[in-house]
A = this chain, B = another copy of it.
Amino acid sequence: MTNQKRFNVAVVGATGAVGEQIIKLLEERQFPFQQLKLLSSARSAGKKISVCGVEYTVEEACPESFEGIDIALFSAGGDVSKALVPAAIERGAVCIDNTSAFRMDPTAPLVVPEVNADKIKEHQGVIANPNCSTIQMVAALKPLYDRYGIDRIIVSTYQAVSGAGTRAIDEMLHQTKEVLEGNTVKPDVLPVSSLPVKHQIAFNAIPQIDKFQENGFTYEEMKMINETKKIMDDESIKVTTTCVRIPVVYGHSESVYVELKNDYDLAEVRELLAAAPGITVVDRPEEQAYPLATDAAGKHDVFVGRLRRDLDHPRGLNMWIVSDNLLKGAAWNAVQIAETFASERPE
């Protein structure tokens, strides 16, 4: 036992794909919690989850759940966050919210610790965890931004179905099996479970993640555009995005084209990235070594490779960025925020 301050922690959405990972990480990282409260919807309440050898019963989340809570980690969907984050704040909790509910709220810091950990202390009760596809990209771009400046980003994503939840994973695996057996499939979840039209994800690429906006971009694409500017604290960066779901279970891959503000040296880019926290460079074409979703799955880091200069533009740089969307893209980034917050909290 140390004299370290200990915290009462609540996990909202404890039985979901991200919630499960958050609990596992709190355990692995020996997060200094005193009391742990696992919360969910009424449907999942009553489930038992073992953490550090202690069995916890999942409770239905309600405003009173947050009495005495210091840190509440939310990942139960935007509506739950909108409904319960204010109640948690009222009761003195600091909320780390993994949904999009507060990300663009000007009073809420939007944090990727490798990029802007200093914003955490400016919180007014809620610290927002960015969108998965944004997190891995800005983590990899920050060292280049600091050194050369960034004029524009053009990104196309290759996103895993786990980003759409466990039902989407189940659908893809089941559907794939059906296609392999020559059976007809009837898509039911993807691309967006709440929308009327469904598309086959097995052996396909679906250029839609989340709903469409009037401007022709999806919400997922707009998240990447808006959140990147907010996290980098630079509205002048031009960003355009195409977000695509592919038949991968865990790990988002991204083809990122970045046009730097100043001339760059490719060897220096490699060194900057290799030295950056949370980044692993995998870039040895002569050995066919580059980041792969199947390799990144289960790991905390952001993996970067395929670094090469645009042959037709001197400040253009191509990159391939891969990370586990449930870990760095969600649970791990949230727990990193919680750790940073905890370590900075006055005794």
Contacts and interface: CB of A to CB of B under 8 A. Distances in A.
A203 B242 contact: no
Given A253-B205, A292-B199, A312 B247 contact: no
A215 B312 CA distance: 12
Interface string A251-290: 0010101000000000000000000000000000111111
A212 interface: yes
A242 B285 contact: no
Contact of A288 (B156, B176, B199, B318): B199
A343 interface: no
Given A203-B249, A205-B253, A257-B154, A308 B180 contact: no
A173 interface: yes
A239 B312 contact: yes
A104 to B, nearest CB: 15
Interface residues of A, number: 60
A292 to B, nearest CB: 6
A285 B191 CA distance: 12
Contacts of A217: 308, 311
Given A212-B285, A306-B207, A200 B312 contact: no
A312 B152 contact: yes
Contacts of A310: 238, 240
Contacts of A208: 288, 290
Interface in A197-234: 197, 199-200, 203-208, 212, 215-217, 225
A294 interface: yes
Interface string A287-316: 111111110000000000111111111001
Contacts of A286: 212
Nearest to A173: B180
B246 A205 contact: yes
B308 A215 contact: yes
A311 B225 contact: yes
A313 B246 contact: no
A29 interface: no
Contacts of A156: 156, 242, 255
B311 A247 contact: no
A158 B291 CA distance: 16
Nearest to A253: B205
A195 interface: yes
Interface of A: 152, 154, 156, 158, 173, 176-177, 180, 191-192, 195-197, 199-200, 203-208, 212, 215-217, 225, 238-240, 242, 244, 246-249, 253, 255, 257, 285-294, 305-313, 316, 318, 320
14 contacts: A177-B180, A180-B180, A197-B287, A200-B294, A205-B293, A207-B255, A212-B288, A216-B285, A217-B311, A238-B310, A238-B313, A240-B310, A240-B316, A242-B255
Given A212-B288, A216-B285, A255-B255, 12 more contacts: A154-B257, A191-B288, A192-B288, A195-B288, A203-B293, A207-B253, A207-B291, A212-B286, A216-B306, A240-B310, A240-B311, A247-B248
The 4 closest A-B CB pairs, nearest first, are A216-B308, A238-B312, A156-B255, A156-B156
